[in-house]
């Protein structure tokens, strides 16, 4: 019996989108308000989807207490109330777009889940703008 289990999470973080190889003019043209040199914040909403076969002994796909704890350690502790560009190693070189944040979170969580479980991550940067990995 193959099912999907979901867990939502939330974090606030600041970022600035820019490419250090470009001029200020080009960064402004491409990233607009998100290129603000003094950073700006988002209320990120995360949806984690775990897919796989239910364990016949427990009736669980994954214990949600464990999934909650993994998300807390791998997302909230690392990124909540942080400046992604300045406070994290992950985004010192990597532009913290929603695409990249979603991918980094997927990687963080993937390492913590058993290999028989499939994982999909959806990240909302605003209520209307969101990214999913893998696509
Ligand atoms: Ni932004």
74-119 tens-digit pLDDT: 999 999 999 999 999 999 999 999 999 999 999 999 999 999 999 9
Q: Are 94 and 102 in contact (CB under 8 A)?
A: no
Catalytic-role residue among 10, 25, 34, 114? 34
125 is known as an active-site residue: yes
CA 41 – ligand 1 centroid, Å? 7
What residues contact 122, with CB distance under 8 A and at least 6 apart? 46, 47, 49, 102, 130, 131, 132
Q: Is 102 a catalytic residue?
A: no
Buried b (16+ CB within 10 A) or exposed e, 2-22: eeebeeebebebbbbbbeeee
Share of the chain above pLDDT 70, in %: 100
pLDDT given at position 11: 98
Pair of tokens at residue 58: 């427990």
For ligand 1, the distance from its centroid to the CA atom of residue 114, given in whole angstroms, is 33
| Structure-block tokens of residue 102 | 């979603």
Distance (angstroms) between ligand 1 centre and the Cα of 123 equals 13
CATH classification code of 2-14+41-133:
3.30.479.10
């Amino acid at each position: 019996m193959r099912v999907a289990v979901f867990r939502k999470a939330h974090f606030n973080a600041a970022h600035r989108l820019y490419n250090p190889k470009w001029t200020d003019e080009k960064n402004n043209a491409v990233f607009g308000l998100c290129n603000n040199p003094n950073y700006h914040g988002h209320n990120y909403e995360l949806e984690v989807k775990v897919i796989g076969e239910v364990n016949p002994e427990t009736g669980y796909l994954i214990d949600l207490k464990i999934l909650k704890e993994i998300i807390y350690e791998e997302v909230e502790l690392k990124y909540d109330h942080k400046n992604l560009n300045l406070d994290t190693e992950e985004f010192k070189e990597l532009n913290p777009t929603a695409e990249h944040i979603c991918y980094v979170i997927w990687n963080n969580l993937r390492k913590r889940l058993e290999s028989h479980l499939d994982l999909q991550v959806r990240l909302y940067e605003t209520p209307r703008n969101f990214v999913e990995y893998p696509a």
